[in-house]
């Protein structure tokens, strides 16, 4: 399997802050989708230019950073447009930090010309200009450009040839499996949050995870995991939020206790900036296997197809309503959305608790192939290396034997969770998703006969 | 040329010119025929291995090479082969990184290429210039460009070569080369002048400010900035263009180091006021720059314009607030100074009312990270309070939440001038002085008065065999906490007889894993020699059913901890029981975190053992004594009344009963001493044990231990090089001050007694309370030893939780070894802090010393845990301000402490609550009068005190007032001292 895909971002013009016809500033984001079309989604005015500029600046910080290697990459963010919301999502070069900017209606006024998802050009000139947007200016805002403007052909086109690492695409897709698991751990006023971020180490960094703990309605860092603590591995990853907190309302901290991933949501009067960091600095979201359980036992193909057909760039996909509409069980709809999310076809908004439709503008067929652990699990079944040792009974779990390297592992499928004797499971205890042995056992268990599939 | 001729040419020719001439004039068809031979030869010479189809000549040639293949990479034959590949090979062959002629062959290679004029040359150059390191030299490129072999490359690599070649010193490896001044090189090849602007667009080392780049250069040497200034001075290059390029470069996405080179170059060009004024928009744009020193440069330049009365107020005041988003104090102060000048000037022009935007920008300074910047902003706003409008007052009020505590009083004074612009209620009342009754009081109870058991720290034993197996699998990979090890040992011992039919199948993967060894530092599978290896052997004994030894004990360079010697004996003892499949409840299994055993549970265990036979005087029994909690001892003693035999007497004595050792107890001396230490860890028991006539010279035996330590600094010099090394020595001895020899008691008499068999000598290895104070292996490598496994370091404090001072001092030694090192996975030092999180037990001097070294060290893991320990220790009253002050006074006497680290840590603690501020304030007020406040960076500690005083004011004692009053001058420490005295 190739480690990266050759990909070319082609934009009709470079994004930037330019002077409009009246001489005022205009923030123009250039667009380009997977089919190399250049959609025109929006034009209007920004009601909060400074806040928007700062949010996009921090987003650019994330997408141009590899958080543990000095390897600068700029893998452009993707923007999803509909009438209610503009969403920009970015993913760091190290695949361990996901950032999302939510720009609701209150932040801009203007016309939505279309729904869809597109890459948007981020470049250094635009980045330099973003911090100079001021609220006392009338700043125009456009996502894409209309045919008339493009047909003039007087703009410099932009082509950026990049190597998109497959694990980057996979991580970008799979991050959606974490978001539904998040729960709110704490919310603190912006000044306290700023003080907290400033207190995090800059130069001499800890090897152990740091924890954010709630202290007298505020927040402070700690090296101890106490009840309610939120783990942070790689504190510099959340320090990128600092510039946003000067003008924000609060910081809401989310955590997925099972995996150790945490979400950091800077909330403004209108709009928010959401940052999700992986459980460890050196572990990106790809390969974490959080989506594997859903993929190993997906709802029926019909259910997935029906749900997929109903996707129309909605900013919220209510599973209950969708189930009623499609005549499916709610659990099937949730399962189908999880599968579609892992394929890059839906995102999840923890705030609303709902998925939203967007399609990552890459060759997503490859994403399907990038689940080696699931593939290995299926291979174990195909090669007959797994066998049911004893079926589940009232007082005993089902036990499977799986041939491993030099030994035979045992998998127990219990109601409170599966367990395996392999080193992977023994070390992580399921925190990094099920091992291939558990996946194989659960696939077999879903088969009525408990026999390996041909 | 035949392939054989080619081989001979490569292997046997020492004349590179002959190699070149051999290919001269050869057409591409002929070259192609030799291509595969050249590539195969080159590959085999590189690998040092002949193919099956190799000629005898080549096989013999390679066989004659005795050394490793890499030692021949620069040999004549290898270089010839590389030249041959360039002479006849395709692009794919020359692109391989192994195809590299030696540097001495550069000229020949150039001629070979010129002779051949290969069609791949441009592609190869492009490929080479994209690599991090290229073998092509810049003069070669220039010649090929000049001769029309290639067009001028446009890749970044070309400009990097351009920059580095022209700035070479000629020093490294080419000491005979006379490098002309850089400006001359440019003027000699004027086409290069067009390339100069690229030095401002991409990352090169042209503006790198590292001094080593010019080390050993000739007197006439010019750096790039010097050369460019010279060209501008001489009219060869437009100065204005250079100024613009430097400013544009500062907006580029490149390293900070190079950015500083750009603005230094800009200053070197000495732009006049008019030139600066013309570039004012670009300078203003840099105020938003995320790199602090770039923004500082912009502020400095704009300050120059202000002086020249050329500042564009509108532009500057619009962007200046961005400066306060950065963390740098210097930038914030510089920005406020400039704003102060603007405010003063505009106020003069408008009847005392300064430009509103200037005041608006100053208001943004209130949100700056640093208290000094906030203070200056408050002072400025106070000066112009009359000119502030309602909206500005409301902004000031809303920024109050960003204010540091030390500025809150001044902020309230400022808001007091707002009149009706804000609600009076929003002005927070200044904190009142802490009521003496409510001030912090530490826990100073003796051990017997302490209470350490609670529901929150109760340990849940392993409930069945499956849970035990799961725990063993997990511990094989990683031990998250030492309590897991305690539960594992307990489970293995209790379930030793449970071996259902499928047991072996269930644990086989564990045996397989443990036999293969793991990779995690903290997993049992990869346990290092010492106590961890013994735990691993015990687990294998249980899983395999055969007694397993810990075979790595004798590793020469490994520093085994003497404190664990009895523990290793214990583990072997357990292993033997497990091997015999005798299940037993271990007496020494903790019932609570921290290594504690509830005495009531302990006596129940004893009773259970007694009901099945006798209680043996085992290592398990001795270790259990040292873990008895101070709680519930009376109840436990009542339970122990029914216990018969020696064990009953020992138990009752340990729990405070009336029993006492008699001469017949000599053979159980170790258990009696251990019981005595369990009864009162710090007492001198020598008188009670005198009748036993035992030769016990060890600290921690009948006589308690005493630790002595001191902090100093040692100056060293070697040639011109001078340095200072922190010295920190910890020694342990008997509390009675008698050396081991003297304590041997009348040495001669003692020896005779021993010879007569009357007086018995006890070794420290058998006596846990003596072993913990031994440090025999201190000379070995600290980076390779037991305590580099975190759970083992934690376990140290579990051996004797009643008196964990030895574990704290061991931690202190470890922390000192790496006081200026970053956190490490290989030699972690944070495990020792577990001892400070055991509730209900005052820390004592050792605990406070461990805390102090954690706070002043660089290791972020240890420091973070020290801060946590301090915060929790104040909540639980285990922290003693006076003791901490004494410890800090002695530590700081060494004059090696980094006070910035300490101040930063203390400030974090101060902000947690008024109680924390009060405790830290009390500690600092105790310490600082004994401290030389003139030490470097001592002001950081004073800053912490100022913060503490702002939150929980305490009156300064006479000593503190005197010490602060002696600080004079304009140092930061003096200013802070004056602030506190005011």
- Residue B521 has a CB neighbour count (10 Å cut-off) of 17
Q: Can you give the pLDDT at residue A451? A: 42
Q: Which positions ≥6 away from A142 have C-beta within 8 Å?
A: A26, A27, A28, A29, A42, A43, A44
> What is the least distance, in Å, from the CA of B868 to any CA of chain A?
6
Q: Return the residue in B860, B912, B915 with the most chain A beta carbons within 10 A, the one to mutate for interface testing.
A: B860
Contact residues on chain B for A131, CB-CB shorter than 8 A: 288, 290, 322
Contact residues on chain A for B864, CB-CB shorter than 8 A: 206, 208, 210, 221-223
Q: Among residues 865-924 of chain B, which lie with CB inside 8 Å of chain A?
A: 865, 867-868, 871, 908, 911-913
In a domain, B925, yes or no: yes
- Residue A427 has a CB neighbour count (10 Å cut-off) of 19
The pair of structure tokens assigned to B446 is 């003796």
Residue in B with minimal Cα distance to A407:
B509
pLDDT at B950 over 80: yes
pLDDT at A6 over 70: yes
Among B129, B150, B171, the domain-final residue is B150
pLDDT at A419 over 70: yes
Q: Return the residue in A223, A232, A282, A406 with the most chain B beta carbons within 10 A, the one to mutate for interface testing.
A: A223
**H-helix or E-strand containing B668?**
none
pLDDT average, residue stretch B203-209: 87
pLDDT at B934 over 90: no
Nearest to B908 among A131, A199, A246 (CB): A199
Same domain flag for A158 and A16:
yes
Strand partners, A159: A10
pLDDT category, B722, cuts 50, 70, 90? confident
Determine, for residues A206 and B861 on separate chains, whether the beta-carbon distance falls below 8 Å: yes
Residue in A with minimal Cα distance to B253:
A124
> What is the least distance, in Å, from the CA of B708 to any CA of chain A?
30
Same domain flag for A155 and A60:
yes
In a domain, B286, yes or no: no
Among B130, B150, B170, the domain-final residue is B150
pLDDT category, B486, cuts 50, 70, 90? very high
> What is the least distance, in Å, from the CA of A254 to any CA of chain B?
22
Instruction: Go through A29-57 and write b for each residue having 16 or more CB atoms within 10 A of its CB, e for each that does not.
Output: bbbbbeeeebbbbbbeebbbbbbbbbbbb
Residue B823 contacts A where some CB pair is shorter than 8 Å: yes
Residue B402 contacts A where some CB pair is shorter than 8 Å: yes
In a domain, B725, yes or no: no
In a domain, A286, yes or no: no
Among B150, B169, B193, the domain-final residue is B150
In a domain, B802, yes or no: yes
Same domain flag for B916 and B826:
yes
pLDDT average, residue stretch B562-584: 95
CA angle centred on B360, ends B359 and B364, rounded to 5° = 110
Express each pLDDT in B80-95 by its tens digit.
Answer: 999 999 999 999 888 8
The pair of structure tokens assigned to A128 is 């330099």
pLDDT at B754 over 60: no
Inter-chain CB pairs, A–B, below 8 Å = 111
Least confident of A421-435, B365-379, B554-568, B669-683: B554-568
Q: Classify the phi-psi angles of A400: left when phi > 0, otherwise alpha if psi is within -120 to 50, otherwise beta.
A: beta
Express each pLDDT in B149-188 by its tens digit.
Answer: 999 898 889 999 999 999 988 755 555 567 889 999 999 9
Determine, for residues B913 and A201 on separate chains, whether the beta-carbon distance falls below 8 Å: no
Q: Can you give the pLDDT at residue B446? A: 92
Q: Can you give the pLDDT at residue B804? A: 96
Q: Can you give the pLDDT at residue A287? A: 65
Same domain flag for B973 and B828:
yes
pLDDT at B433 over 80: no
Same domain flag for A300 and A375:
no
Same domain flag for B376 and B482:
no
Express each pLDDT in A90-118 by its tens digit.
Answer: 999 889 999 999 999 888 888 888 888 99
Least confident of A2-16, A301-315, A331-345: A2-16
Note down the domain range covering A8: 4-177
pLDDT at B756 over 70: no
Same domain flag for A63 and A30:
yes
In a domain, A132, yes or no: yes
In a domain, B761, yes or no: no
Same domain flag for B388 and B468:
no
Residue in A with minimal Cα distance to B508:
A407
Same domain flag for A305 and A402:
no
Determine, for residues B518 and A191 on separate chains, whether the beta-carbon distance falls below 8 Å: no
Same domain flag for A87 and A142:
yes
In a domain, A359, yes or no: yes
Express each pLDDT in A29-53 by its tens digit.
Answer: 999 876 767 889 988 999 999 999 9
Same domain flag for B933 and B874:
yes
The whole-angstrom separation of Cα A246 and Cα A263 is 19
CATH of the domain at A329: 1.10.10.10
Express each pLDDT in B107-164 by its tens digit.
Answer: 889 899 999 999 999 999 998 898 878 888 898 899 999 989 999 898 889 999 999 9
Q: Can you give the pLDDT at residue B863? A: 95
pLDDT at A195 over 50: yes
In a domain, A76, yes or no: yes
In a domain, A422, yes or no: yes
Nearest to B252 among A124, A199, A204 (CB): A124
More confident residue, B427 or B321: B321
Let me know: does B912 contact A220? Beta carbons within 8 Å: yes
Residue B401 contacts A where some CB pair is shorter than 8 Å: yes
Determine, for residues A198 and B327 on separate chains, whether the beta-carbon distance falls below 8 Å: yes
Average pLDDT, chain B: 90
Residue B214 contacts A where some CB pair is shorter than 8 Å: no
In a domain, A285, yes or no: no
> What is the least distance, in Å, from the CA of A211 to any CA of chain B?
10
Same domain flag for A363 and A408:
no
Q: Among residues 349-378 of chain B, which lie with CB inside 8 Å of chain A?
A: 367, 369
Determine, for residues B505 and A422 on separate chains, whether the beta-carbon distance falls below 8 Å: no
CA distances from A257 to A86, A230, A430 (A): 30, 8, 12
Least confident of A96-110, B62-76, B176-190, B775-789: B775-789
pLDDT at B215 over 80: no
In a domain, B159, yes or no: no
Determine, for residues A128 and B823 on separate chains, whether the beta-carbon distance falls below 8 Å: no
Nearest to A206 among B285, B470, B864 (CB): B864
pLDDT average, residue stretch A161-171: 82
Determine, for residues B369 and A198 on separate chains, whether the beta-carbon distance falls below 8 Å: yes
pLDDT average, residue stretch B57-78: 84
> What is the least distance, in Å, from the CA of B511 to any CA of chain A?
9
Residue in A with minimal Cα distance to B870:
A222
Determine, for residues A222 and B868 on separate chains, whether the beta-carbon distance falls below 8 Å: yes
**What is the phi/psi pair of residue B308, to 5°?**
-85, 5
**A413 SS3 class:** strand
**Count of structural domains, chain B:** 4
Let me know: does A143 contact A110? Beta carbons within 8 Å: no
Contact residues on chain A for B858, CB-CB shorter than 8 A: 204
Same domain flag for B842 and B964:
yes
The whole-angstrom separation of Cα B462 and Cα B470 is 10
pLDDT at A450 over 50: no
pLDDT at B551 over 90: no
Among A177, A197, A220, the domain-final residue is A177
The whole-angstrom separation of Cα B153 and Cα B124 is 11
Q: Can you give the pLDDT at residue B337? A: 97
Determine, for residues A220 and B523 on separate chains, whether the beta-carbon distance falls below 8 Å: no
Let me know: does B367 contact B322? Beta carbons within 8 Å: no
Determine, for residues A206 and B913 on separate chains, whether the beta-carbon distance falls below 8 Å: no
Share of chain A above pLDDT 90, in %: 45
**Assembly ipTM:** 0.88
Nearest to B474 among A221, A224, A429 (CB): A429
Nearest to A407 among B509, B823, B908 (CB): B509
The whole-angstrom separation of Cα B233 and Cα B8 is 59
pLDDT category, A453, cuts 50, 70, 90? very low
Residue B837 contacts A where some CB pair is shorter than 8 Å: yes
Q: Among residues 229-288 of chain B, which lie with CB inside 8 Å of chain A?
A: 251-253, 285, 288
Same domain flag for B396 and B466:
no
Express each pLDDT in B507-516 by its tens digit.
Answer: 999 999 998 8
**H-helix or E-strand containing A30?**
none
Let me know: does B41 contact B83? Beta carbons within 8 Å: no
Express each pLDDT in A339-353 by its tens digit.
Answer: 888 888 899 998 889
Sheet architecture: strand order including A250-255: A31-32, A116-120, A78-81, A85-91, A97-104, A272-277, A262-267, A250-255, A183-189
Which long-range contacts (C-beta less than 8 Å, at least 24 apart) are formed by A414-422? A418/A442, A419/B470, A421/B473, A421/B506, A421/B509, A421/B510, A422/B509
In a domain, B739, yes or no: no
pLDDT at B779 over 80: no
Residue in B with minimal Cα distance to A390:
B502
pLDDT at B624 over 90: yes
CATH of the domain at A23: 3.10.150
pLDDT at B788 over 50: yes
Same domain flag for A349 and A382:
no
Contact residues on chain A for B512, CB-CB shorter than 8 A: 406-407
Contact residues on chain B for A239, CB-CB shorter than 8 A: none
pLDDT average, residue stretch B426-442: 65
Top mean-pLDDT range of A115-129, B5-19, B508-522, B624-638 = B624-638
The whole-angstrom separation of Cα B962 and Cα B882 is 19
Q: Among residues 113-132 of chain B, which lie with CB inside 8 Å of chain A?
A: none
More confident residue, B752 or A390: A390
Q: Can you give the pLDDT at residue B437? A: 45
Express each pLDDT in B263-306 by its tens digit.
Answer: 999 999 999 999 999 999 999 999 999 899 999 999 999 999 99
**Count of structural domains, chain A:** 4
Pairing of strands B694-695, B760-761: parallel
Same domain flag for B404 and B473:
no
Determine, for residues A222 and B864 on separate chains, whether the beta-carbon distance falls below 8 Å: yes
In a domain, A283, yes or no: no
In a domain, B282, yes or no: no
Same domain flag for A109 and A245:
no
Closest CA to B408 of B903, B979, B951, B972: B951
Nearest to A128 among B251, B911, B912 (CB): B251
pLDDT at B908 over 70: yes
Same domain flag for A13 and A137:
yes
Same domain flag for B882 and B944:
yes
Nearest to B474 among A195, A408, A426 (CB): A426
Determine, for residues B474 and A216 on separate chains, whether the beta-carbon distance falls below 8 Å: no
The pair of structure tokens assigned to B297 is 């440069």
Note down the domain range covering B909: 798-981
pLDDT at A452 over 50: no
Q: Return the residue in A423, A424, A437 with the most chain B beta carbons within 10 A, the one to mutate for interface testing.
A: A423
Same domain flag for A170 and A41:
yes
The pair of structure tokens assigned to B125 is 């150059």
pLDDT category, B497, cuts 50, 70, 90? very high
Same domain flag for B475 and B413:
no
pLDDT average, residue stretch B587-599: 97
Nearest to B509 among A224, A243, A404 (CB): A404
Express each pLDDT in B631-677 by its tens digit.
Answer: 999 999 999 999 999 999 999 999 999 999 999 999 999 999 999 99
Contact residues on chain A for B253, CB-CB shorter than 8 A: 64, 72, 124, 127
Same domain flag for A393 and A362:
no
pLDDT at B798 over 70: yes
pLDDT at B869 over 90: yes
Determine, for residues B476 and A426 on separate chains, whether the beta-carbon distance falls below 8 Å: yes
pLDDT at A225 over 70: yes
Same domain flag for B837 and B906:
yes
Among A313, A346, A368, the domain-final residue is A368
pLDDT at B246 over 90: yes
Let me know: does B317 contact B356? Beta carbons within 8 Å: no
Residue in A with minimal Cα distance to B478:
A427
The pair of structure tokens assigned to B361 is 């920008």
Same domain flag for B415 and B537:
no
């Amino acid at each position: 399997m190739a480690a990266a895909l050759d990909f070319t971002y082609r934009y009709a013009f470079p994004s930037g802050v330019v002077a409009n016809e009246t001489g005022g500033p205009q923030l123009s984001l250039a667009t380009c989708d997977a089919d190399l079309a250049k959609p025109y989604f929006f034009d209007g005015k920004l009601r909060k230019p400074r806040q928007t500029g700062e949010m996009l600046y921090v987003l650019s910080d994330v997408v141009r950073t590899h958080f543990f290697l000095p390897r600068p990459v700029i893998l452009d963010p993707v923007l999803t447009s509909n009438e209610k919301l503009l969403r920009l999502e970015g993913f760091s070069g190290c695949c361990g930090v996901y950032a999302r900017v939510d720009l609701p209606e209150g932040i801009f006024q203007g016309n939505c010309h279309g729904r869809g998802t597109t890459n948007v050009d981020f470049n250094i000139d635009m980045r330099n200009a973003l911090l100079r947007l001021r609220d006392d200016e009338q700043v125009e805002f456009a996502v894409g450009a209309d045919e008339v403007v493009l047909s003039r052909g007087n703009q410099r086109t932009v082509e950026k040839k990049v190597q998109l690492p497959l694990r980057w695409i996979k991580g970008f897709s799979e991050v959606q499996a974490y978001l539904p698991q998040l729960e709110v751990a704490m919310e603190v006023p912006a000044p306290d949050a700023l003080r907290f971020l400033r207190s995090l180490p800059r130069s001499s960094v800890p090897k152990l995870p740091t924890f954010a703990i709630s202290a007298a309605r505020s927040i402070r860092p700690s090296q101890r995991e106490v009840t309610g603590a939120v783990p942070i591995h790689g504190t510099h990853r959340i320090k990128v939020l600092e510039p946003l907190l000067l003008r924000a309302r609060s910081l809401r901290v989310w955590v997925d206790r099972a995996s150790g991933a945490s979400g950091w949501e800077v909330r403004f009067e209108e709009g928010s900036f959401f940052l999700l960091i992986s459980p460890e600095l050196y572990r990106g979201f790809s390969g974490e296997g959080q989506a594997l359980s859903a993929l190993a036992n997906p709802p029926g193909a019909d259910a997935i197809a029906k749900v997929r057909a109903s996707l129309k760039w909605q900013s919220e996909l209510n599973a209950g309503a969708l189930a009623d509409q499609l005549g499916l069980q709610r659990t099937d709809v949730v399962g189908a959305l999880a599968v579609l999310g892992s394929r890059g076809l839906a995102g999840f908004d923890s705030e609303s608790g709902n998925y939203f439709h967007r399609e990552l503008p890459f060759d997503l067929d490859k994403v399907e192939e990038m689940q080696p652990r699931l593939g290995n699990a299926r291979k174990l079944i195909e090669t007959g290396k797994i066998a049911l040792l004893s079926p589940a009974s009232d007082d005993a779990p089902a036990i499977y034997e799986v041939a491993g390297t030099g030994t035979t592992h045992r998998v127990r499928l219990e109601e409170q969770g599966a367990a395996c004797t392999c080193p992977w499971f023994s070390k992580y205890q399921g925190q990094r998703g099920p091992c291939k042995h558990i996946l194989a056992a659960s696939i077999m268990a879903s088969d009525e006969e408990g026999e390996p599939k041909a | 040329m035949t392939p054989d001729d080619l081989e001979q040419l490569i292997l046997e020719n020492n004349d590179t010119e002959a190699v070149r001439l051999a290919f001269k004039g050869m057409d591409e068809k002929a070259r192609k025929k030799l291509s595969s031979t050249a590539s195969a030869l080159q590959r085999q010479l590189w690998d040092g291995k002949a193919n099956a189809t190799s000629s005898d000549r080549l096989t013999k040639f390679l066989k004659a090479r005795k050394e490793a293949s890499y030692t021949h990479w620069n040999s004549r034959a290898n270089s010839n082969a590389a030249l041959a590949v360039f002479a006849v090979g395709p692009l794919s062959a020359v692109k391989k990184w192994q195809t590299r002629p030696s540097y001495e062959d550069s000229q020949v290679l150039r001629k070979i290429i010129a002779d051949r004029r290969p069609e791949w040359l441009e592609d190869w150059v492009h490929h080479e210039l994209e690599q991090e390191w290229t073998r092509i030299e810049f003069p070669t490129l220039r010649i090929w460009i000049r001769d029309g072999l290639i067009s001028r490359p446009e890749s970044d690599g070309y400009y990097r070569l351009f920059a580095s070649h022209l700035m070479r010193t000629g020093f490294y490896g080419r000491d005979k080369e006379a490098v002309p001044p850089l400006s001359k090189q440019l003027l000699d090849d004027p086409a290069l002048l067009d390339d100069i602007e690229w030095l401002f667009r991409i990352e090169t080392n042209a503006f790198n400010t590292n001094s080593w780049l010019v080390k050993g250069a000739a007197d006439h040497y010019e750096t790039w900035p010097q050369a460019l200034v010279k060209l501008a001075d001489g009219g060869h290059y437009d100065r204005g263009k250079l100024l613009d390029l430097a400013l544009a470069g500062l907006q580029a996405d490149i390293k900070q180091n190079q950015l500083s080179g750009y603005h230094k170059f800009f200053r070197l060009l000495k732009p006049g006021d008019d030139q600066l004024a013309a570039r004012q928009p670009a300078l203003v744009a840099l105020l938003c720059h995320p790199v602090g020193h770039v923004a500082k440069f912009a502020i400095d330049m704009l300050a120059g314009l202000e002086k020249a009365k050329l500042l564009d107020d509108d532009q500057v005041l619009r962007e200046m607030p961005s400066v306060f988003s950065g963390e740098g104090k210097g930038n914030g102060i510089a920005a406020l100074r400039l704003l102060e000048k603007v405010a003063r000037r505009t106020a003069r022009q408008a009847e005392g009312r300064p430009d509103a935007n200037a005041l608006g920008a100053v208001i943004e300074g209130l949100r700056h990270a640093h208290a000094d910047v906030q203070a200056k902003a408050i002072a400025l706003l106070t000066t112009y309070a009359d000119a502030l409008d309602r909206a500005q007052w409301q902004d000031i009020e809303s920024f109050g939440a960003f204010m540091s505590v030390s500025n809150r009083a001044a902020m309230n004074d400022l808001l007091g001038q707002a009149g009706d612009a804000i609600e009076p209620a929003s002005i927070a009342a200044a904190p009142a002085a802490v009521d003496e009754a409510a001030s912090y009081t530490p826990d100073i109870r003796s051990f017997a008065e302490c209470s350490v058991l609670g529901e929150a720290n109760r340990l849940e034993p392993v409930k069945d065999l499956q849970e035990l197996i799961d725990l063993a699998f997990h511990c094989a990979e990683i031990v998250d906490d030492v309590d897991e090890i305690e539960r594992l040992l307990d489970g293995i011992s209790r379930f030793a007889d449970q071996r259902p039919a499928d047991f072996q199948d269930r644990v086989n993967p564990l045996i397989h894993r443990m036999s293969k060894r793991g990779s995690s530092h903290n997993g049992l599978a990869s346990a290092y020699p010492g106590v961890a290896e013994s735990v691993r052997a015990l687990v294998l004994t249980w899983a395999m059913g055969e007694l397993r030894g810990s075979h790595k004990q004798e590793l020469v360079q490994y520093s085994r901890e003497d404190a664990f010697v009895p523990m290793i004996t214990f583990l072997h003892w357990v292993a033997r029981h497990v091997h015999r499949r005798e299940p037993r409840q271990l007496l020494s299994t903790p019932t609570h975190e921290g290594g504690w055993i509830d005495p009531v549970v302990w006596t129940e265990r004893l009773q259970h053992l007694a009901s099945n036979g006798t209680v043996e005087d085992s290592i398990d029994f001795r270790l259990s004594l040292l873990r008895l909690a101070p709680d519930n001892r009376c109840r436990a003693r009542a339970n122990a009344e029914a216990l018969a035999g020696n064990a009953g007497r020992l138990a009752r004595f340990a729990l405070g009963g009336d029993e006492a050792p008699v001469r017949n107890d000599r053979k159980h001396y170790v258990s009696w001493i251990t019981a005595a230490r369990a009864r009162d860890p710090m007492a001198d028991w020598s008188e009670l044990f005198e009748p036993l006539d035992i030769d016990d010279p060890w600290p921690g035996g009948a006589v308690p231990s005493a630790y002595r330590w001191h902090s100093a600094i040692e100056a060293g010099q070697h040639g011109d090089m001078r340095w200072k090394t922190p010295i920190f020595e910890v020694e342990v001895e008997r509390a009675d001050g008698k050396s081991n020899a003297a304590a041997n008691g009348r040495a001669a008499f003692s020896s005779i007694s021993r010879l007569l068999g009357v007086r018995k000598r006890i070794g420290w290895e058998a006596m846990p309370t003596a072993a913990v104070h031994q440090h025999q292996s201190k000379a070995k490598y600290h980076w390779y030893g037991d305590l580099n496994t975190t759970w083992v370091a934690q376990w140290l404090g579990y051996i004797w939780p009643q008196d964990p001072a030895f574990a704290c001092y061991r931690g202190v030694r470890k922390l000192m070894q790496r006081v200026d090192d970053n956190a490490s996975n290989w030699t972690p030092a944070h495990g020792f802090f577990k001892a400070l999180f055991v509730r209900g037990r005052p820390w004592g001097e050792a605990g406070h010393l461990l805390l102090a070294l954690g706070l002043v060290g660089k290791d972020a893991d240890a420091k973070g845990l020290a801060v946590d320990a301090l915060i929790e220790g104040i909540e639980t009253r285990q922290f003693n301000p006076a003791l901490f002050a004494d410890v800090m006074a002695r530590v700081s006497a060494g004059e090696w402490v980094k006070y910035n680290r300490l101040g930063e840590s203390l400030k974090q603690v101060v902000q947690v609550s008024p109680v924390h501020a009060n405790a830290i304030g009390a500690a600092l007020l105790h310490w600082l009068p004994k401290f030389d406040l003139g030490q470097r960076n001592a002001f950081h500690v004073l800053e912490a005190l100022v913060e503490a005083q702002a939150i929980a004011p305490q009156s300064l004692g006479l000593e503190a007032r005197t010490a602060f009053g002696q600080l004079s001058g304009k140092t930061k420490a003096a200013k802070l001292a004056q602030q506190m005295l005011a």
